[in-house]
Amino acid sequence: MNLADIKTVEAILRPAGFDFKKSLGQNFLINDAVCPEMASAACDSDTGVLEIGPGIGVLTVELSKVAKRVVAIELDDRLRKILPQTLAECENVEVIFGDAMQLDLNAIIKEKFSECKRVCVCANLPYYITSPIIMMLLESKLPIDNITVMVQKEAAERLCAEVGSRESGAITVAVNYYAEPEILFEVDRNSFMPAPKVDSAVIKLNVRKSPAVKVNDEKRFFSLVKAAFAQRRKTFVNTVSNTTGLSKDKIKEVLEYLNISPTVRSEQLTMQELTEISNNLF
Ligand code: SAM
């Protein structure tokens, strides 16, 4: 059964009366070149893979061929009847029904992947929660090697931008803090059913063993970063002062001490500069 074939997908979904829910980000892949490439980029035969949102299992089947074990988490209860049929031949796959944002992923990894040398996350993510899922995966400090996921192309560009470039934002800093990001390949919107309005890209976040920089206070560092990118048209000093209530003089004093221009914009600051500003402010 080729789950990336549009006729097969229709033949599976129609009798079950399944209609795609936009609210769950349901755009199923119908391009059979994409999933094998994602699977081989994410894992090998020693890897345990956590998949988020298997849909009818098009990526799950390919992951099952490459990985040691696959655990797929699906929120949509209507797939309870479909997935056991489409994954019937995949003996190393288990499906857990629930919300990936609510489940204890650390406990799942410990319980299900004890025999795997490494663990990764691989998914065609529901677009409505791309950033929250990625941040949850990184901030939970899960013992994972990489996160290989399909996201909207614009999100991929933002997530994988260089800190200090025009495309960077608060999420770019957060991703670079925890991981080394790369864009693997782009995927045309017509590779999905139903076709979304935008193209996609597969990205790989190679999780670092330790954060990219040494910040004194992680919580304050991330709230400074969030504040710094809250008003993109303003200078760093103005936006940080407006959003945090810190005095402009205090921020300027730190910038001067670090030899950074007082009119600098947040997207011009490198990871190291943001770190030093945070460490000196707090
Ligand atoms: N993997 C399939 C594919 O590539 O065709 C489906 C991908 S579709 C973009 C996203 C999937 O995530 C859907 O199956 C949807 O029901 C599921 N989903 C949405 N929100 C979820 C959540 N919070 N936790 C787990 N699964 C979720």
pLDDT tens digit string along 135-153?
A: 999 999 999 999 999 999 9
* 96 CB neighbour count, 10 Å cutoff: 13
Distance CA 265, CA 282 (A): 20
Pocket probe for ligand 1: among 6, 12, 24, the residue whose CB has the most ligand atoms within 8 Å is 24
Distance CA 44, CA 260 (A): 45
Angle CA(199)–CA(200)–CA(204) in degrees, nearest 5?
Answer: 160
Quick check: bond before 262 cis, omega within 30? Answer: no
Confidence label for 130 from pLDDT (cuts 50, 70 and 90): very high
Q: How far is the CA of 171 from the centre of ligand 1 (A)?
A: 22
Q: How far is the CA of 125 from the centre of ligand 1 (A)?
A: 6
Which whole number is the average pLDDT over 18-37? 96
Q: Which strand ranges, in their side-by-side order, compose the sheet holding 118-124?
A: 93-97, 69-74, 47-52, 118-124, 146-152, 200-207, 179-187
Confidence label for 233 from pLDDT (cuts 50, 70 and 90): confident
Task: Provide the pLDDT for residue 232.
Answer: 84
Confidence label for 162 from pLDDT (cuts 50, 70 and 90): very high
Q: How far is the CA of 91 from the centre of ligand 1 (A)?
A: 21
Output the average pLDDT for the chain: 96
Q: Which atom of ligand 1 is nearest to the CA of 56?
A: 2
- The answer to whether 29 touches 4, Cβ cutoff 8 Å, is yes
Provide residues with CB under 6 Å of ligand 1. Answer: 24-29, 52-55, 58-59, 73-76, 99-101, 124, 126
Task: Provide the pLDDT for residue 203.
Answer: 98
Which whole number is the average pLDDT over 39-56? 98
Task: Provide the pLDDT for residue 242.
Answer: 94
- Going through the chain in order, the beta strands assigned E by DSSP cover 28-29, 47-52, 69-74, 93-97, 118-124, 146-152, 179-187, 192-193, 200-207
Task: Provide the pLDDT for residue 197.
Answer: 95
- The answer to whether 233 touches 224, Cβ cutoff 8 Å, is no
Percent of the chain with pLDDT over 90: 98
Q: How far is the CA of 206 from the centre of ligand 1 (A)?
A: 22
Walk me through the domains of the chain, giving residue ranges and CATH numbers: 6-207 (3.40.50.150), 218-281 (1.10.8.100)
